[in-house]
């Protein structure tokens, strides 16, 4: 018995050591980013392999980074990203929720066909859709406005619709029938009965939507012209200019700040993430 217990202890120690080493390599880029935001602009790439700065220059980096570009403070870019991300996430998740409810609980003609069409869009790269989106937004006079970045997200996402549909299909229809007998309409059934049950899928969709919209670089690059209306990804790109001085310290400092909303959002709702991905609905 002692031999077995010693083997188990050794196996546990090896497992934890391996996990620590693997975890360090996975988190090393983030640690390097934070460390570099404290280094002087001249020494960032000289002692690039060390995580401990030889000379602290954090105040200068965060100060110059926050001053922004072309007289526009970085706070303006953060505000633009916040507006686009919050409104885009709410409208995207709400539209996906309504579509998933319709596909899973309401009988209508060719429902399976339309659901299949939605699933096919998962295989279409978003870059393919950028030209028709630009043409539509141009005709609506939305180019170079924050509305151009929000509107494409307002009609839901195929991945979120699929995720929520699977949750709805795992819920017994007897709940709908019981609520209907009590006088609830379809809207009341959705928001009073089903939404509390599928909360994990809603929060999981919100996490993914928040992250995808916040870090989106391609759409703002195509739709936006005015520097004052740039989002964070575009603003960070402006810190690097091959023809002039590259402010790497400010770039890394503002990159760290731009990570804070994503990390906070993930930490607050992480307990729902595993349930949402696992798609554990109520079994009948």
Angle at 196 between CA 195 and CA 199, to 5 degrees: 80
Q: How many domains does the chain have?
A: 2
Whether residue 194 sits in one domain with residue 99:
yes
Q: What is the mean pLDDT of the chain?
A: 86
Whether residue 83 sits in one domain with residue 34:
no
Q: 45 or 147: which carries more pLDDT confidence?
A: 147
| pLDDT reported for residue 44 | 81
Domain coverage including residue 107? 68-278
pLDDT band at 280 (very low <50, low <70, confident <90, very high): very low
Distance (Å, rounded) from C-alpha 122 to C-alpha 115? 12
pTM: 0.84
In this model, does residue 8 exceed pLDDT 90?
Answer: no
| pLDDT reported for residue 191 | 87
Q: Dihedral (C-alpha) 122, 125, 130, 131: value to the nearest 10 degrees?
A: -110
* Contact of 43 with 54, CB cutoff 8 Å: yes
| pLDDT reported for residue 275 | 61
- Average pLDDT for 29-42: 86
SS3 57: coil
Whether residue 106 sits in one domain with residue 156:
yes
Tell which of 65, 83, 117 closes a domain. 65
In this model, does residue 139 exceed pLDDT 90?
Answer: yes
Whether residue 163 sits in one domain with residue 22:
no
- DSSP structural state of residue 141: T
- Average pLDDT for 144-153: 93
Q: 56 or 261: which carries more pLDDT confidence?
A: 261
Whether residue 117 sits in one domain with residue 17:
no
Distance (Å, rounded) from C-alpha 29 to C-alpha 35? 10
SS3 56: strand
Residue at 119 is within a domain? yes
| pLDDT reported for residue 124 | 87
Whether residue 103 sits in one domain with residue 22:
no
pLDDT digits (tens, 9 = 90+) for 235-279: 988 887 665 567 888 889 999 999 999 888 888 877 776 665 555
For the chain, the 3-state helix, strand and coil shares in percent, each to the nearest 5, are: 70, 0, 25
Instruction: Write the burial class of residue 53 (CB in 10 Å: 0-12 exposed, 13-18 middle, 19+ buried).
Output: middle
For 211-274, the DSSP string reads HHHHT--HHHHHH---GGG--HHHHHHTT--TTS---HHHHHHHHHHHHHHHHHHHHHHHHHHH
Tell which of 65, 92, 109 closes a domain. 65
| pLDDT reported for residue 214 | 94
Tell which of 50, 65, 80 closes a domain. 65
| pLDDT reported for residue 22 | 92
Q: 246 or 199: which carries more pLDDT confidence?
A: 199
Q: 103 or 4: which carries more pLDDT confidence?
A: 103
| pLDDT reported for residue 4 | 57
Whether residue 41 sits in one domain with residue 104:
no
In this model, does residue 131 exceed pLDDT 50?
Answer: yes
Q: In Å, how far are 103, 170, 238 from 161, measured between CA atoms?
A: 9, 14, 35
| pLDDT reported for residue 281 | 42
Q: In Å, how far are 94, 117, 179, 180, 275 from 173, measured between CA atoms?
A: 22, 25, 10, 11, 21
| pLDDT reported for residue 181 | 82
Distance (Å, rounded) from C-alpha 58 to C-alpha 54? 12
Distance (Å, rounded) from C-alpha 266 to C-alpha 93? 16
Percentage of the residues of the chain whose pLDDT score is greater than 90: 35
């Amino acid at each position: 018995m002692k031999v077995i217990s010693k083997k188990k202890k050794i196996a546990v120690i090896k497992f934890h050591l391996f996990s620590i080493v693997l975890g360090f390599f996975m988190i090393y880029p983030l640690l390097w980013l934070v460390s570099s935001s404290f280094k002087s602009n001249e020494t960032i790439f000289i002692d690039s392999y060390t995580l401990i700065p030889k000379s602290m220059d954090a105040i200068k980096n965060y100060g110059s980074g926050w001053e922004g570009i072309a007289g526009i403070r970085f706070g303006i870019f953060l505000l633009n990203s916040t507006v686009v991300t919050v409104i885009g996430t709410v409208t995207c998740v709400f539209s996906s929720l309504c579509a998933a409810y319709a596909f899973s609980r309401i009988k209508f003609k060719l429902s399976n066909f339309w659901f299949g069409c939605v699933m096919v869009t998962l295989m279409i790269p978003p870059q393919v859709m950028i030209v028709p989106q630009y043409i539509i937004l141009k005709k609506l006079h939305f180019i170079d406005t924050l509305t151009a970045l929000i509107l494409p997200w307002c009609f839901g996402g195929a991945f979120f619709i699929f995720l929520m549909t699977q949750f709805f299909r795992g819920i017994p229809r007897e709940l709908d029938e019981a609520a209907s007998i009590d006088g609830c309409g379809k809207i009341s059934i959705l928001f009073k009965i089903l939404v509390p049950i599928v909360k994990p899928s809603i929060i999981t969709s919100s996490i993914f939507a928040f992250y995808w919209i916040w870090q989106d670089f391609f759409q703002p690059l195509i739709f936006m012209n005015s520097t004052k209306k740039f989002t964070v990804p575009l603003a960070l790109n402006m810190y690097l200019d091959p023809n002039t001085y590259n402010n790497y310290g400010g770039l890394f400092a503002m990159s760290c700040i731009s990570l804070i909303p994503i990390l906070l959002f993930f930490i607050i709702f992480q307990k729902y993430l595993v349930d949402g991905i696992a798609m554990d609905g109520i079994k009948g």
